[in-house]
Chain A
Amino acid sequence: MPANPSSESNSQLTLRHVTKRFNGRAGLVTAVEDISLQVKEGEFLVLVGPSGCGKSTLLSLLAGLEQVDDGSIKLDGADVVEPGRDRLVMFQQDALFPWLDALENVLFGLRLKPGLTDAERTEAARYYLDLVGLGDKEKARPHELSGGMRQRVALARSLAPNPRVLLMDEPFSALDALTRDQLYGDIQKIFTQRKKTIVLVTHNIREAVCLGDRVVLLSPNPGRIRQVFNIDLPRPRRINDPALATLAADITTALSAHLAEPKEGLV
């Protein structure tokens, strides 16, 4: 892949003045307004905010599932206008295909990637199933797996075609706390091993601090960037780490302060 010729050196994903509106029941609703952001190669960026702050909309825009109304999104200098293999998504529900077993689910994206032999594809799929700790479950159908295992298969499926950016749309929110803590560990391990660029959307501020290199706090109505926090805690981080809790509390305070502002506060 050619090096990025634009001025934003070593930033891979660039958002400039991104605005997105929807036709709601109460007329035109601005979901996100004037968002400018740069995501560096190998960075773990977290978009966090209360519901209605447009964080999921922003992720859909990055995935190319929705198009921007104003502004631009560029990946490696090229405009993002449609879904593509270079930006794979992990959804809130696992979105595994129930008619395929775990291995076939992981193979789905790989099969669509040109330039590989079938043997290479199968090998890659097995490698990523092993990586998420499910090497022995390749023949299992999604319904035979627990929620956490399904989300792990979904992670393997998103990683296997080796996307430039991994997009995660609240993938842990439907899981129980114990499974979630395990997955935080797994994701960090994979992130440090593979140096993957990740954009995660969540409403859980602790989760954001636990996983992110940088946490972008969004505020609702319309969705705007409120504040950006750099998280310099060493990895692997544990969700119960006191330093992490302190930082999370700071961000929560910043959010509450904003929500308490009279003009744009919640009704």
Chain B
Amino acid sequence: MKSPRALVPIVIGLLVLGFWEWYVRSGRVEDFFVPAPTQIGAWFWSALCDGSLASATWVTMRRLMLGFAIGAAIGIPIGALCARSSLARDTIGILSLGLQTLPSVCWVPVAIIAFDPTEAAVVFVVVMGTVWAVVIAVQESVLNVQPLYLRAAQTMGSRGWHLWTHVIFPAALPGIISGLKQGWAFAWRSLMAAEIFVAIIDGFGLGALLNAGRDLHRMDLVMGVMAVVMLVGLLADLIFFSPIERWLRRSRGLER
């Protein structure tokens, strides 16, 4: 039963690519404007062979992981604080809501002025992209923990730190995970913005590669990198977040 379901999108995808290839080759559109799939594939293969794609992906992933980890590490306790104290909610919580709506590209000038065009500037932008979404998600999911669980735990003698680690966080975990997933998506977007705008000599990431493609008028490179960026985001979802979410839902009987 599984093969037909996977087969249909593959066939459709191949048909679309085939049509694209034929359309470009037939000369109806200039290939420096829209390169054919095989041209993008050729760039992809050469970039893969000379190691430039792998190293750019690695540089980008390293920044993403670092910025995301810092953002989550800051966002989770702040979100918990906002859930606990209405003063924090009315100040930091509202501020987070406002800053979350701020497109993360807006942090790029701040980062460059504060850190010069360095690795720290890029990571800073990623942290700013992540942290507010995480704060809001954690705050909301902690506030939505069923009061009954808290009452039950309190009668059994759970207080303070124990209550947080054994009841509130486990109960809020599904919400926290989807908050992290959202934070990840924001981090990924802000990282691309940062890499395009901040030119760093020592680390050449995917965003810089994309920018180089623009400078060279190499549409095959630009589209190839875009495909890689898309693929990385998709893989992060498929191999990391989705399995965790599915496991959480299953183990709590929210999904069969």
Q: Say which residue of A64, A84, A108, A144 sits within 8 Å of B153 (CB atoms).
A: A108
Could you say which of B108-116, B135-143, B167-175, B223-231 contacts chain A?
B167-175
- CB contacts (< 8 Å) of A87 on chain B: these are 155
* C-alpha gap A161/B152 in the complex (Å): 13
* C-alpha gap A174/B148 in the complex (Å): 15
Verify if B3 is at the interface (C-beta below 8 Å from A). Answer: no
B155 and A97 within 8 A (CB): no
> Interface residue count for B (Cβ, 8 Å)?
20
A-B interface pairs (CB < 8 A), number: 62
With A85-B157, A143-B253 as known contacts, state yes or no: A99 contacts B152, CB within 8 Å: no
A97 and B170 within 8 A (CB): yes
With A108-B166, A141-B252, A142-B253 as known contacts, state yes or no: A97 contacts B149, CB within 8 Å: yes
- CB contacts (< 8 Å) of A85 on chain B: these are 155-157
> Interface residue count for A (Cβ, 8 Å)?
25
Q: Say which residue of B148, B155, B166, B251 sits within 8 Å of A93 (CB atoms).
A: B148
Shortest Cβ-Cβ A-B pairs, 10 listed: A143-B253, A109-B156, A95-B152, A112-B157, A98-B252, A83-B154, A99-B170, A85-B157, A83-B155, A89-B155
- CB contacts (< 8 Å) of B148 on chain A: these are 91, 93, 95
- Interface positions of A (Cβ within 8 A of B): 63-65, 83-85, 87-89, 91, 93, 95, 97-99, 108-109, 112-113, 141-144, 157, 161
Nearest residue (CB) in A for B251 is A141
Q: Min CB distance, B87 to chain A, in Å?
A: 21
- CB contacts (< 8 Å) of A144 on chain B: these are 253
Nearest residue (CB) in A for B152 is A95
- CB contacts (< 8 Å) of B153 on chain A: these are 108
- Interface positions of B (Cβ within 8 A of A): 148-149, 151-158, 162, 166-167, 170-171, 173, 251-254
- CB contacts (< 8 Å) of B173 on chain A: these are 99
Q: Say which residue of B151, B157, B167, B253 sits within 8 Å of A97 (CB atoms).
A: B167
A88 and B252 within 8 A (CB): no
- CB contacts (< 8 Å) of A64 on chain B: these are 155
With A83-B157, A87-B155, A112-B162 as known contacts, state yes or no: A95 contacts B251, CB within 8 Å: no
B152 and A89 within 8 A (CB): yes
- CB contacts (< 8 Å) of B155 on chain A: these are 63-65, 83-85, 87-89
- CB contacts (< 8 Å) of A161 on chain B: these are 156-157
Q: Min CB distance, A129 to chain B, in Å?
A: 16
* C-alpha gap A161/B157 in the complex (Å): 10
Nearest residue (CB) in A for B148 is A95
With A65-B151, A95-B151 as known contacts, state yes or no: A112 contacts B158, CB within 8 Å: yes
With A141-B252, A142-B253 as known contacts, state yes or no: A95 contacts B157, CB within 8 Å: no
- CB contacts (< 8 Å) of A63 on chain B: these are 151, 155
Interface centre among A83, A89, A91, A93 (most CB of B within 10 A): A83
Nearest residue (CB) in A for B156 is A109
Q: Min CB distance, B168 to chain A, in Å?
A: 11
* C-alpha gap A87/B253 in the complex (Å): 30
* C-alpha gap A95/B155 in the complex (Å): 12
B171 and A97 within 8 A (CB): yes
* C-alpha gap A98/B153 in the complex (Å): 13
- CB contacts (< 8 Å) of B157 on chain A: these are 83-85, 109, 112-113, 161
A91 and B253 within 8 A (CB): no
A95 and B149 within 8 A (CB): yes
